[in-house]
Amino acid sequence: MTALDQLKQYTTVVSDTGDFQAIAQYKPQDATTNPSLILKAVQKPEYRPLLEKVVRESNGEALDSIIDRLLITFGTEILKIIPGRVSTEVDARLSFNTEGSIEKGRHLISLYEAAGFSRDRILIKLASTWEGIRAAEVLQREGIHCNMTLLFSLAQAVAAAEAKVQLISPFVGRIYDWYKKTAGASWDEAKNGGANDPGVHSVRTIYAYYKKFGYPTEIMGASFRTISQIVELAGCDLLTISPELLKKLSEESFPVERKLSPELAKGDPVARIAVDEASFRFQLNEDAMATEKLSEGIRTFAADAIKLENLILDLQKQPA
């Protein structure tokens, strides 16, 4: 068996891409997208016609409506390939706007339902800000399942679970990036890799907390840099993996062992933490890595959304 086949025995494998041809190749259960991935996809020749078609059929719609339709177009194509769910992200510029995020989430679901897909197959992605978590809490009560993204800390994870969100996406690779960059020349890859990888450690802590205290919220490790980070989290509820790393896993045949399980996690020494608004904001403020990576992630996704808008504006200027 390949390493990928072994991993699928313990963990639901999710494809982290807007490239639905790559999704078909590796047969994941679910798929995730974000503005950066969609931007990357529409710049490929094979997906350019999708963008052009959406713009051509927009009939004078507002720019944000065209973006929504583009996201849904990619999402529906992905849903034709996978058996499970697709994640579609709310505009990062709404990350601190609870009401705006709620309305956008409702609108995206309405577009999917109009296209003939049940809301049970959709996850609305929201940034793990206090405002984003509050928006998810409302959407969840309406039967709209949410995926909390840009999650870097236990405080964010616990607040999301208390809000009864469907799923969280802790960013393993970006946590690793921060610690490696901060350490500079003193970084020791051998010492800080594998089970000691700071991103891996963060997910293991969240997993232990959820399983020990009985939260049903799913944990989906995300943003991987290496296959080592992935196999160290074998047994996590879900792992969303880029096509490049899925390819590497499909080409390897080393043994993959289960590293996380509810039984083992319940014995971990984790203590409950408070997650009211004041406690949440203070704990996030005290965590320099989480604060910086959350802000950076929001800025990056917002910038890529603007680039996507500019692509659309350029197309609209071209003669029919």
Identify the CA nearest to 261 among candidates 302, 223, 304, 211. Answer: 211
307 classed as catalytic: no
List, as one string, the DSSP characters of 30-69. Answer: EEE--HHHHHHHHTSTTTHHHHHHHHHT-TT--HHHHHHH
CA distances from 184 to 8, 152, 225, 294 (A): 35, 20, 18, 21
Q: How long, in residues, is the chain?
A: 320
The gap between the terminal CA atoms of the chain, to the nearest Å, is 52
| Residue 62: other Cβ atoms inside 10 A | 9
Measuring CA to CA, which residue among 180, 130, 184, 199 is closest to residue 158? 130
Q: Which of 8, 125, 211, 259 is catalytic?
A: 125
Question: What is the Cα–Cα distance from 214 to 147, expressed in whole angstroms?
Answer: 19
Give 141's contacts (C-beta < 8 A, 6+ positions apart).
none
**Residues acting as catalytic residues:** 125
